[in-house]
Structure 1
Amino acid sequence: MSKVGLGDKTLFWVDTWLGNEPLKIQFPNLYLLAVKKKARVLENYRTLNGGRVWDWVWSRAPTSEEEKQEMENLKGRLQSQVSAQGSDVWFWKNSEHQEFSVKNVKASLGQRLDLNSAAYVFSWNNWVTSKCTTFMWRAIEEKIESAAALRNRGLNLPDILCKTCGAAVESAAHILLSCNFAKRTWELVTNWLKIPMVNVEGSMRDILMEMNEIQRSKSVRKAIYAVAIQTMWILWKTRNERVFKGRQGKVQTVLEEIKEASYQGVKLRSKHSSITRPEWWAFNIIL
């Protein structure tokens, strides 16, 4: 990690210096808008009256609710950051006094590696947009901007309970699986797909693996897997509409959006372009 002084040796978006992850991971929507993705920290501020005024070059101004939220969170993080004097210094993570070396890297990795556990490989699905699959990959790692994730990144949030049910901490898994709204959505989705109800008390990883191994033809399995990803993406969008715009989504409306979005994905991105909307909406398909 970098202990930032002047910001002369640290890349603003790419290096880890503010929190436990690079800012491009913490604020992915802003990173996409940044023109200078490999700019050093000192290139993104100017000194005024002894303080720092932060400024960025965007391809366009942040306009979506997600972009605006990330902008406010980033400003809050930067305001609370205390800069050191002089040039930037690199140190071993979690210890500013431990020398950074290859030996320490090996020791740290050795402590975390479990040779008896099977590695999980996320299966990408090209029947949904790359934005959806990237979101899903980040959600599995609890890296989307849920209230719990934002607090873990150092943001001072007074309330991290789910804004929909108020019954549990708002994590990615809660929003997309175990919240009452998500549970009812999954019930409708699995009924439509004619498959058993998913275990909403489990993990997103388990559900996706289950969908990928269901007893159907290879193409139908891929379609079901695409629907699972689309379901979680639309649940996230619905959550954002509720939090930022006060819109109370309805489960039936969400189901219809899932059906239409997944239909368009399969029709446009697979070789099964002849499938009709009535066939898909009844999930009466032969692929």
Structure 2
Amino acid sequence: MENGWWSKIVAAAGRGNEGWFLENIKRRLGDGRGTKFWEDSWVGRESLNISFHRLYRLCENRKVSVGESGRWVEGVWVWDLKWRRELRDCERETVKSLMDAISSFVPTAGTKDRWTWRAATDGRYSTKSTYDTIKSKRSVNQNQRSEVKTLVSVWKTAAPQKALVTAWRLLRNRLPTADNLRKRNIMLGDVNQDCPWCHAHGENLNHLFLTCSKAQELWDEIQSWTGISSARPSSAAAHWIVFSECGKEKKVRNLLKTIWVGCIWLMWRKRNEKIFEGKDWEVKTLVREIKIRSWCWNKIFGILDPDMDLSRWCCDDLISHFL
């Protein structure tokens, strides 16, 4: 690849939204004369003017090439960067980090710098490697879109805002369980970090809401009541999708979403009552509360027919009433 036209491609990509392209090119150095020390990506995946922005602002010549940034001294390559003023102590520490980052480079006389393509093992650009890169990128984007779609569907559920927020935080792994608090460096001291219900497992979202023996007992009761039979994934997002898609009719799916959100909201409340007030709960009692609240929510939001009274709503095999 000729440096002239290839550099134009790189520059054009830098002006657009082709981040995937810039991530996959790298400057392979020869004598360093054709590569800008600060502004070309030749160390790591980003240019030094980004990694060491403060030093970039202090350098004497921002356009200097890599080969012009040092000299040979008795057969040893020595970096010789120029600064506009004397460096402060904190800046000298940053210079040491910069030197560590570039220490592996030694110029090769008579060899020109060139661009290489990270997406291919041989460093050569090809249509196939580009296609594979775009395809993998698209797959990641599709997963992200699927996640967004899942989260949006939560907000369209017939339930109060406080319950929707709890469900949304669960799907985003944002509820303050013991493991999430540790990740945020919040010291828990002598607080018991085990599951407040079974005490046999560290508290995390998937265990608390899905795999704990008490949570499984609750979901058994809910599935028996609704009349659905499906796999029970161990992740919250997958569980939400599987549970809410069990109904063939859109109306049934909407009802199941309300029930799922109600389960999550009330389970989180019971978790907090157990931790902060020492209150325990029975599965059958909580199921009754879920039935009543989900019926009220669906009535308020106009999802249920007028003839669907509470007694019919609480009967087993709920879905069969809508077929």
Q: How does 1:81-230 map to 2 (within 5 A)?
A: 99=53, 114-117=137-140, 118-119=143-144, 120=147, 121=149, 122=151, 123-124=153-154, 125-157=156-188, 158=190, 159-199=192-232, 201-230=233-262
Deviation at 1:134, TM superposition (A): 1.5
Residues 1:286 and 2:322 are matched in the alignment: yes
Q: TM-score, normalization: structure 1?
A: 0.58
Is the aligned partner of 1:238 residue 2:274?
A: no
Alignment deviations for residues 171-201 of structure 1 (CA, whole Å, 9 cap, x no partner): 12221111111110000001100001551x5
1:126–1:269 contact (8 Å) kept in structure 2? no
Question: For 1:114 and 1:165, how far apart are their aligned partners in 2?
Answer: 42
The 8 Å contact of residues 162 and 175 in structure 1, kept in 2 or not, is answered as yes
Q: Report the structure, 1 or 2, having the larger helix content.
A: 2
The amino acid that maps onto 2:184 is R
Pair 183,114 (structure 1): closer, same or farther in 2 beyond 3 Å? farther
Is residue 259 of structure 1 aligned with residue 282 of structure 2?
no
1:165/1:179 contact within 8 Å kept: yes
Q: Distance in 2 between matches of 1:114 and 1:233?
A: 36
TM-score by length of 2: 0.51
Amino acid in structure 1 at the alignment position of 2:161:
S
Q: Which amino acid aligns with 2:180?
A: A
Partner SS for 1:115: helix
CA distance in 1, matches of 2:300, 2:215: 27
DSSP 3-state at the match of 2:279: coil
Which of structures 1 and 2 has the bigger CA Rg? Answer: 2
What percent identity do the matched residue pairs reach?
A: 23
How far apart, CA to CA, are the structure 2 residues paired with 1:255 and 1:198?
Answer: 20
Structure 1: runs of 5+ lacking an equivalent? 1-96, 101-109
Note the alpha carbon deviations across 1:79-121, whole angstroms, 9 max, x for none. Answer: xxxxxxxxxxxxxxxxxx8549xxxxxxxxx9xx953232312
1:126 partner SS: coil
Tell me the number of residue pairs that the alignment of Structure 1 and Structure 2 aligns: 180
